Amino acid sequence: MKSHGKFLKTGLLTVLCASAFSLPAVAQVKIGVVNSLSGNFAAFGQRYNTGMQVALEEINANGGINGEKLELITQDDRSDAQSALAALESLNKQGVPLIIGSYASGITGPMSKVATRQKLPLIVLGSADDSITKPGSKWVFRAKHNSTIVANVYFDYFDFLRKSNPDMKKVAVMHGNGAWPTSVSEEGVRQAEKRGYEVVGKQAYDQGTTDFRPILNKFRSANPDILLTSSYADDGIAIARQIKEVGLNTKVVAIDTASSMMSFIDQVGDKSENIVSAVSWSPDVKYEGTPELAKRLKEAAKEDPSFYEAEGYLALTVAADALRRAKSTDREKVREALAATNLKTPVTDVTFEEFDGFTGQNPIKSVIIQIQDGKHVTVFPENLASQKAKLSN
């Protein structure tokens, strides 16, 4: 009887195991993400991650990728190019059909070259340096803006203001020596000269600089109407404070990137009023679906969302759209689907085009946000603005 009982238990276990293995597996489509979740750029990487998670929930709630669940394999690049390349190689070996990454242009630039050699589609997450898509490659796609687009929207905005202030002609430019700030500032100088502005000062500074007063005092003697600064978070906070300390009075202060964060307003306080920044998206911009997306991003971020969360959402939304249309995880078919993208999202419309020497670049229209009464509001272009622009003095 004991032997028979043992047989029944063993037989039952075998049947249960067989039944378990015969159950249909949950199919999944996996894509790779290289993101800065630690190191100097972690604050930005976390925001991108929040946006991607909101998109991931939306994608899977709406049937995933043709009925298959989408899964992200995320690797931390530690805010370092070599770590990013190691992460890309790891994901490549896992056979993912595409990769999304990363934040800093100095990281994504090398990644784009390796992805091209490996014939692995890469969707740019946050990097905006022109060189990533100019000349670019057929394997690299960027839905967000680049430095040329950003510099142009600044000068479109300055031209708009100059219609009512025709004496606004003198520009001073300062920037960190990283790839992105340098790229924006160099294109800014080209646009200034092309559009008839007088560049009365141009100064680069080393990343990590904390005292900007020597530069700002030199600019003050030139009496510029516009100050265009391209900087990262800590730089921009110090610059905004020291502008007031040295008594530099300009009609327009643009502090690119840094001033677009709520933390900038919190730390700079009243000195942040009327400072502007160019962004790819703002919660109050007048696109279809923006209010609903802004609400979901705010719930996920537990604070007012920035364009960083929106760009994370955008990158993954573009990836999912291409995978659905490719109906395959074959990299060449995914690349072809990305190249044929024609997508409307609550962040921006997306097509990848070749123009002005760029390849795989979305000709996105950036917007200008301004800090008014302690909040970011969209002030340009007029058809997307929620408030009227103000001069600094």
Q: Average pLDDT, stretch 97-108?
A: 95
Cα angle vertex 172, ends 166, 177, to 5°? 145
pLDDT, tens only, 351-384 = 999 999 999 999 998 999 999 999 999 999 999 8
Q: What is the pLDDT, as a whole number, of residue 97?
A: 98
Cα angle vertex 306, ends 303, 312, to 5°? 110
Structure tokens, 140: 């690299």
Residue 190 contacts residue 162 (beta carbons within 8 Å)? no
Cis peptide before 102 (omega within 30 of 0): yes
Query: Average pLDDT over the chain, rounded to whole?
Result: 92
Residue 113 has pLDDT above 50, yes or no: yes
Q: What is the pLDDT, as a whole number, of residue 188?
A: 96
Secondary structure (DSSP) of 289-354: THHHHHHHHHHHHTS---HHHHHHHHHHHHHHHHHHHHTS--HHHHHHHHHT-EEE-SS-EEE-EE
Residue 21's pLDDT band (boundaries 50, 70, 90)? very low
CA–CA gap between residue 68 and residue 270 (Å, rounded): 50
Q: CA Rg, the chain, in Å? A: 24
Give the other-Cβ count within 10 Å of 222's Cβ.
Answer: 14
Residue 158 is classified by DSSP as H
Residue 1's pLDDT band (boundaries 50, 70, 90)? very low
Helices (H), 34-168: 42-61, 81-93, 105-117, 147-162
Residue 178 has pLDDT above 90, yes or no: no
**Nearest Cα to Cα of residue 281 among 233, 231, 346, 341:** 346
Residues in the chain: 393
Residue 53 contacts residue 300 (beta carbons within 8 Å)? yes
Weakest-pLDDT range from 5-14, 48-57, 157-166, 303-312? 5-14
Q: What is the pLDDT, as a whole number, of residue 258?
A: 87
Strand 367-372 and strand 375-380: the pairing is antiparallel
CA–CA gap between residue 381 and residue 83 (Å, rounded): 39
Q: Which residue has the higher pLDDT, 258 or 125?
A: 125
pTM equals 0.87
pLDDT, tens only, 304-325 = 899 999 999 999 999 999 999 9
pLDDT, tens only, 193-224 = 999 999 999 999 998 899 999 999 999 999 99
Residue 222 is classified by DSSP as H
Weakest-pLDDT range from 79-83, 134-138, 246-250, 257-261? 257-261
Q: What is the pLDDT, as a whole number, of residue 13?
A: 42
Q: Max CA-CA distance within the chain? A: 104
